[in-house]
Every structure is written in structure tokens, then in C-alpha cells.
Amino acid sequence: MISYQLASTIRLGVKSLLLHKLRSALTMLGIIFGVCSVIAMLAIGEGASYEAQEAIKKLGSNNILLRSVKPPEQARQQGGGGGGGGGGPRGMQLKYGLTYQDGSRLQTTIPGVKRVLPMRIIRENVRFDRNEVPCQVIGTLPFYPEVAGAAIVRGRFLAHIDEVHQDNVCIITTGLARRLFPHQDPLEHSVKIDAFYYRVVGVLQERSQPEQRSQSGKMEGQPLDNNVYIPLGASRTRFGEVLIRRAAGSFEAEEVQLHQITVQMENTAAVETADPQIKTLLDKFHDQQDFEIIVPLQLLRQAEQTKRIFNIVLGSIAAISLLVGGIGIMNIMLATVTERTREIGVRRALGAKRRDITRQFLVETVVLSVGGGLIGVVVGVLTPIVVSQLTTMKTIVTVWSVLLAFGISGAVGIVFGLYPAKAAARLDPIDALRHE
Amino acid sequence: MPRPSAIIRIEGVKKRYVLGGENEVLALRHVDLAVEAGTYLAIMGPSGSGKSTMLNILGCLDRPSAGSYWLGGEDVSRMPDDQLSEARGRKIGFIFQSYNLIAQLTVLENIQVPLLYQGKDVRLFHDRCLDLARLVGLGDRLGHRPNQLSGGQQQRVAIARSLVNDPLMLLADEPTGNLDSRTGTEVLDLIDRLNQAGKTIILVTHDERVAARAHRVVHMKDGVIDREVVNRPPPAPSR
């Protein structure tokens, strides 16, 4: 009975709105834009933060990354040329960064550490036949794939025996395999790095390239997945501790034992506690700031925080447009009430109670706003698709943003419809009947 | 207590309007009136005589400042707004000078409107609405909108609408005021027929010829009933 009455009230509302098609359509437009912008903006925001979060997640949320960083003061001295008279016996040679000892200290002192993965990262050209590709030669230990989340596609990764023998074996990434061996199976071929040959024993699929994230712009323009993995011991003996880089008549020598240490923790809870402990420990043995600590978990948290703020800002902008739409609705409904004063009087004379009149106009407003909301949802879901087609931006339309926008449009109808509806119901039937 | 046969009994009704500040207007000074069921009563009077105020009170659109108004055995003079709306819809059928049909509804839907406000399921009363439409001679115009009908047709729809809840009385306010004399006569003939079928009619007019059709004519002046003329005796109470 109640639902039947409501249905007939809704039918009546639609009928009244259709009486002024243009007016109703223009009024709806405000809500359509509002709902559409809520959904579209949240979709774009969601998409942007999703990409950032994925990148961070790839670093591993259980991991803590330590990287060697060239200390800023020394870098400046070197840039000034000569570095002064008291330069010491090593002259231009710069010594900084993480050490093997840091690795073993971390392993033994920090509670909750599962594994410590040291890495030496050296940029060198890798050659096979007539192909030459600039690469990162990464000296590391056999458990690299487990820590970095990489997968062996062919062959094997480094083995313990390779480390003991300091064998000249290497594993190359899929991308590099494609470039060096366009027509051949890379396994069991030897590639030349610097002055030595290394036998390819496996092909690795990287989950991500965390190594590319550091060291400012040096790596720009280089393909991201050209990595060669060799035993850490081999890296140490073949390349030595001192790395010399020559460029246009000047040369630069630096002594870096380890470029990166990835500390894998037992669980995410251990990551939280270990972060300050690691910093304290390393600070004790480093008298200069030559390393950085990257906690992917924290970055993830920050990204989520940023996303939240982003969403609030975008959401507020969209909410304001919904508010404007709501005010537009209220304005039109107030005009409608004035215009239909006489109808209100007639209905009251025919037995309508105040609440019947309130309901009639409220339903009409809600029909208007929910109708606009529905159209807005459709347009709002389509807009991000178009945006990601036209630009490279990733967009994600979440269910909750659609529900939110739709819910708000309904709420706007009720909130902004209530006043005109009440105003209609408050009219004195005698005055209303006499209204021309 | 009013006699059961008197469906309307007004006793000592006063109506005062406050026009802001100290200014007061006494629109009705003191009115007593009893109307038996089946009576055709006309109310006449010059403007400012309290005729409209009387109509508003009779129609339960307004409440008297003093005195009491018994409508069908119920004192409606002190009713709260909601109950008054209820009584209005159930007991009174309004016929207005300017028809006052609802523009966005069809003939049939206009006839159904009073049912809606009594909480009745319109579908159950479909046959009744059709009968009423036929009674007023518009059985073939059910889907038309008011702006597709002539004035006389619109007024006949309004009469059908006023009857749909089977009210105690019809309250007509200058029902022929906007009609030419021929269609006006048709409408008045229809009202006559309803009265002959037993409906109580109260009709406000300033047209002597219209008033001549009534059993009783009440003349108002300065907020009181000045005189009453009985054209012909109202039918004897059936109960």
C-alpha cells in the first residue's frame, strides 16, 4: 500500500518534471556534472596512486634497502678540482659506502633479520659476438631471486659453489637476453664483460629494477632491464674494490665495497623496529653520511597518505560542484513551488495533508537529483576510460566512488529538496487557492 | 447536540482576522446555520459580506475563532490540521469557479486524486471513476488533459472528482462564474440531478437565477445571516 502510494507519487513527480523538459534537463545537468566529476576525479587519483604503490610494492614490503651514496661534501671538493694539499696518498680516490662488515654486523646484531643480501653494482658494457649492450653488472649471492622476488626463466641462478670458486658464470635478464642473443639460446654461451668471459647459466625475469632508482640521473636513457648477475666474489676479484671511470681527459676513482644491501626481515612488524636500529648501527661505523636507508613499507604508507590527501582534495572539489548542483535544484524547486501554488491549494482542498505535499515535492526533487545522478554515474564511468585512452594516465573506477557519488546525489536531492517541499506544505490552503 | 439528520450545524461562529498590530476585522460576527441532509442551499451576498469566509469555514479550509461547527456528527472547529485535511477529503467535495484541475494529469487521474489522499488504492476504484466520468458525460475523454477540454467539460470533470469519495456534501463556489450561460445551465442541471439523487449541495453565488434552483437561499450581510428565503421545502429527512 505504502509502496504503491510512493510509486504513484514518483510517477506524478516524473510527469510534473516532464512538463518542463528543458528546465528539468538543465537542472539535472548540475548534478550530472557533479557526480561525473566525483567519479572521474577519484578514478584518476586512484589510478595515479596505484602505479606509485605498485612500484613500491615491488621493492618488497619486508625489505629494507641500504644504498651507498656519495657523501655530498666530498663530491663538492672533488668538483672544485684538486681537493687541496692535504689530499692524502690516494689523491683523487674517494672512499665511501657500505662495507662487507656492515653486512655481517646487520646479520648478527639486528633482531628479526632473515637474510642480508649484499650487492655490487658496476656499469660495464657486455658483449657477445658483435652485440654490445651497456649493462649493470651485479655481483650478488645465490639467494638474490628470493629476496628481490625475481624468477628464473631458464637454467639456474648462482649457486654456492660459484661463490666459493669465484667462477666466471653469469645470469642475464630476459631483456638483455633478447638484445645480446636475438637469434640464439643464450645458455652455455659466454659473454665478455670488461676483460673476462662469463658463461651464461641462466635467464632471469626481474620483478622490478630497484637498482635503477638510485644514483640520480646517471642511468637515464638506459634500458631498465639490462642486468647481468655474477658471483659477488667474482665481482670483487675481477673488478677490484677501486672503480675507475674515465671521461674526456679526467678520471674519477672511487672505492666502494658494496653498492646496496637488501635486508630482508622476518615480517612487516620487524621492519618497523629494525629501521631505527639499522640507522644507529651504521651511524656508529660511518663518520659521514654515505648511505641511505629506504624502507618500502614506509614509502607505501606515505604513498597511501598522499593518496588520501589527494582524494580529499579532489573529492572536495567535486563535492563543491555537487553542492552547486544542489543549490540549482533548490532554486528551481522554489520557483516550481511558487508556480504551482494553486495546485498545492487544490490538493490541500481535496484532502492532502501537509506531509502529502512535502512528500510530493521531495520526491520530485529526489527524482531530479537521482536521475541526474544515474546519468552522472554513466558519464563518470565513461570519462576515465576516455581519459586513459587519450592520455597514458591510468585510471581506476572504484565501486565505492560510484556508490559515494550516487549516494551524495540522492542526499543532495533530499537536503536541497526539503526546504522547498516544506515551504510548499506550509502554504495556507486558502491563500494557495486564491493564488493566480 | 445536533440532530442526527442535520449534517451541518454551525453555532455561534465568529471569525476574526488580525491584520497586523491592533487592526482586527470581524469577518463573521455570529452565524448559526443548520442544514439537513439532501438540502440544496445557496449562499448569496455582496462582497465583504463574509460569504467567502463562510465558504472557507464550511469547507474546513479555515477554523472559526469562536463557536462550533458540527459536520456529519463531528466537531471540526477545533481539529488539528491533519485531521481537518482528512475530514475535508472525506466529507466535502469541492467545485471551484476556475475548475482547478491539475494540469499534468489526465481526466481519469484528476478524478482519482481525492482517493489518493484517503490512502485508497486507486486500482480498486477504477470502475467507480469510470462510472463518474460517464455520469458527467466524459466517459470517452478519460485520457485527455485539462487543456484539451472546454470550460464546461473541465467543470464536469471537477464535479466527478468532487464525488469520488462520496462526500457528505458538495461545496460549489460560483461553479458557473467562468462559463457561458448554455454550458453554465448544463452544469447547474447536473448539480440539480445530483441533489435529486440525495446529495447535499451548498452553493455560493451572486447570481439570482442560480440561487433560484436551491431549496433555501441564505443572504449574508456584514458578517451575519441577514435573511433566509425558502424557495421550496427541502426533502424530508429520510431518517
Task: Write down the pLDDT at residue A77.
Answer: 52
Closest CA to B172 of B226, B227, B213, B222: B213
Closest CA to A47 of A406, A291, A392, A403: A392
Does residue B118 belong to the interface with chain A, where contact is any CB pair within 8 Å? yes
Task: Write down the pLDDT at residue A221.
Answer: 38
Are A307 and A238 in the same domain?
Answer: no
Residue A85 has pLDDT above 50, yes or no: no
| Residue A147 covered by a domain | yes
Sign for the CA dihedral angle at B95, B96, B99, B100 comes to: negative
Select the residue from B53, B71, B117 to test the A interface by mutation, using most A Cβ atoms within 10 A.
B117
Residue A133 has pLDDT above 60, yes or no: yes
**What would the pLDDT profile of B60-118 be if each residue is shown by its tens digit?**
999 999 999 999 989 999 899 999 999 999 999 999 999 999 988 999 999 999 998 99
Q: What's the average model confidence in pLDDT over A74-91?
A: 44
Count of Cβ atoms closer than 10 Å to residue A421 Cβ: 25
Whether the Cβ atoms of residue B45 and residue B173 lie closer than 8 Å to each other: no
Which of B85, B94, B102 lies nearest to residue A353, judging by beta carbons? B85
Are A95 and A202 in the same domain?
Answer: yes
The count of structural domains within chain A is 2
Residue A31 has pLDDT above 80, yes or no: yes
Task: Write down the pLDDT at residue B24.
Answer: 86
Are A6 and A80 in the same domain?
Answer: no
Q: What's the average model confidence in pLDDT over B157-171?
A: 95
Task: Write down the pLDDT at residue A249.
Answer: 65
Q: What's the average model confidence in pLDDT over A335-359?
A: 93
| Residue A59 covered by a domain | no
For residue A255 the three cell numbers come to: 672505492
Segment (H or E) for A175? helix A174-180
Task: Write down the pLDDT at residue A224.
Answer: 57
Give the HSE-up count for residue A303: Cα atoms under 13 Å, Cβ half-sphere: 19
Q: What's the average model confidence in pLDDT over A11-33?
A: 89
Select the residue from A350, A427, A435 to test the B interface by mutation, using most B Cβ atoms within 10 A.
A350
The percent of residues above 70 in pLDDT, for chain B, comes to 97
| Least confident stretch, A119-128, A221-230, A290-299 | A221-230
Are A223 and A97 in the same domain?
Answer: yes
Residue B28, classed as helix, strand or coil, is: strand
Which of A5, A343, A349 lies nearest to residue B61, judging by beta carbons? A349
Task: Write down the pLDDT at residue B54.
Answer: 93
- Judged by CB atoms closer than 8 Å, whether chains meet at A354 and B85 is answered as yes
Q: For cell 523538459, what's the residue?
A: A21
For residue A145 the three cell numbers come to: 631471486
Residue A320 has pLDDT above 50, yes or no: yes
Task: Write down the pLDDT at residue B186.
Answer: 93
Q: Which domain holds residue A14?
A: 2-53+303-434
Q: What's the average model confidence in pLDDT over A156-169?
A: 88
Does residue A304 belong to the interface with chain B, where contact is any CB pair within 8 Å? no
Task: Write down the pLDDT at residue B38.
Answer: 92
What's chain B's average pLDDT?
Answer: 91
Are A216 and A312 in the same domain?
Answer: no
The percent of residues above 70 in pLDDT, for chain A, comes to 89
Residue B159 has pLDDT above 90, yes or no: yes
Whether the Cβ atoms of residue B6 and residue B200 lie closer than 8 Å to each other: no
Classify residue A53 as exposed, middle or buried by CB count within 10 Å of its CB (0-12, 13-18, 19+).
Answer: middle
Does residue B223 belong to the interface with chain A, where contact is any CB pair within 8 Å? no
Comparison of pLDDT for A424 and A268, the residue scoring more: A424
For residue A427 the three cell numbers come to: 502554504
> How many residue contacts between A and B have a Cβ separation below 8 Å?
68
Q: Contacts of residue B161 in chain A, CB cutoff 8 Å?
A: 350
Residue A284, classed as helix, strand or coil, is: helix
Q: What's the average model confidence in pLDDT over B160-187?
A: 94
| Least confident stretch, A280-289, B168-177, B201-210 | A280-289
Select the residue from B55, B61, B164 to test the A interface by mutation, using most A Cβ atoms within 10 A.
B61
A83 — pLDDT class (breaks 50, 70, 90): very low
Task: Write down the pLDDT at residue A341.
Answer: 94
Pick the last residue of a domain from A289, A312, A331. Answer: A289
For the domain made up of B39-63+88-230, give the CATH fold: Rossmann fold (3.40.50)
* CA distances (Å), origin A150, targets A80, A203, A205, A215: 42, 10, 6, 22
For residue A418 the three cell numbers come to: 526539503
Whether the Cβ atoms of residue A99 and residue A258 lie closer than 8 Å to each other: yes
Are A41 and A93 in the same domain?
Answer: no
| Least confident stretch, A276-285, A342-351, A357-366, B104-113 | A276-285
Q: How far does the CA of residue B118 sit from the closest CA of chain A (Å)?
A: 7
Residue B5 has pLDDT above 70, yes or no: no
**What would the pLDDT profile of A375-424 be if each residue is shown by its tens digit?**
999 999 999 989 888 888 888 888 988 998 888 889 999 999 999 999 99
| Least confident stretch, A8-22, A328-342, B128-142 | A8-22
- Report how far residue B89's alpha carbon sits from residue B128's, in angstroms, rounded to the nearest whole number: 17
Q: How far does the CA of residue B154 sit from the closest CA of chain A (Å)?
A: 14
Which of B62, B89, B121 lies nearest to residue A350, judging by beta carbons? B89
For residue A301 the three cell numbers come to: 604508507
Task: Write down the pLDDT at residue A337.
Answer: 93
Which of B96, B100, B118 lies nearest to residue A351, judging by beta carbons? B118
Residue B199 has pLDDT above 80, yes or no: yes
Task: Write down the pLDDT at residue A223.
Answer: 43
Residue A350 has pLDDT above 90, yes or no: yes
Whether the Cβ atoms of residue A171 and residue A158 lie closer than 8 Å to each other: yes
Does residue A238 belong to the interface with chain B, where contact is any CB pair within 8 Å? no
Buried b (16+ CB within 10 A) or exposed e, A67-78: bbbbbeebeeee
| Residue A125 covered by a domain | yes
Does residue A6 belong to the interface with chain B, where contact is any CB pair within 8 Å? no
Are A108 and A207 in the same domain?
Answer: yes
Which residue type is seen at A247? A
Kind of pairing, strands B40-44 and B200-204? parallel
| Residue A60 covered by a domain | no
Task: Write down the pLDDT at residue A245.
Answer: 67
Comparison of pLDDT for B183 and A391, the residue scoring more: B183
- Judged by CB atoms closer than 8 Å, whether chains meet at B85 and A433 is answered as no
Residue A210 has pLDDT above 70, yes or no: no
Are A80 and A111 in the same domain?
Answer: yes
Kind of pairing, strands A190-193 and A196-205? antiparallel
Helices A268-285, A296-339: inter-axial angle, 10-degree rounding: 130
Helices B181-196, B151-163: inter-axial angle, 10-degree rounding: 20
Are A182 and A275 in the same domain?
Answer: yes
Count of Cβ atoms closer than 10 Å to residue A42 Cβ: 26
Task: Write down the pLDDT at residue A73.
Answer: 62
Closest CA to A377 of A26, A27, A46, A33: A33
What's chain A's average pLDDT?
Answer: 83
